[in-house]
Amino acid sequence: AIDPSFDENREVVGDHEGHDVWGPVDEPETLGIHGTHVAVDFDICDADGACIEDCPVDVFEWVETPDHPTSERKADPANETQCIDCMLCVDVCPVDAIDVDST
């Protein structure tokens, strides 16, 4: 599961489409965590897609991640600023790849 204390245990190593990327990153095998308020551990996400289907405000968009060992696409929190903290995505992700900081 995603580390809920990732913001203490990792460092921002880059920006992707306006949101933070938390390392380590070593493409294509290691992709890190995308987003901060809505954080998706790309190394855990296996492209189930429930978050994309269920988010009421369409926070997530697919990004292609060819040659990643777990899956070749990931749910990117492209619109994390739109999040309404409903926690649905956290509940439905079968591999616990998502953390939403609702505090």
- C-beta of 27 vs 85, nearer to ligand SF4: 85
The residue range among 31-39, 45-53, 80-88, 93-101 that interacts with Zn ion, by the rule CB under 5 A, is 31-39
Contact partner at residue 50 from ligand F3S, ligand SF4, Zn ion, none, CB < 5 to 8 Å by partner kind = ligand F3S
The residue range among 14-22, 23-31, 63-71, 83-91 that interacts with ligand SF4, by the rule CB under 6 A, is 83-91
Is 43 a binding residue for Zn ion by CB under 5 A? The answer is: no
Q: Cα dist. 32→56, 62, 68 in Å?
A: 25, 16, 11
Is 86 a binding residue for ligand SF4 by CB under 6 A? The answer is: yes
Q: What is 24-38 written as a DSSP string? A: --BTTTB--EE-SSE
Q: Rounded to an integer, what distance in angstroms lies between the CA atom of residue 24 and that of residue 57?
A: 29
Q: Which residues bind Zn ion (CB under 5 A)?
A: 16, 34, 76
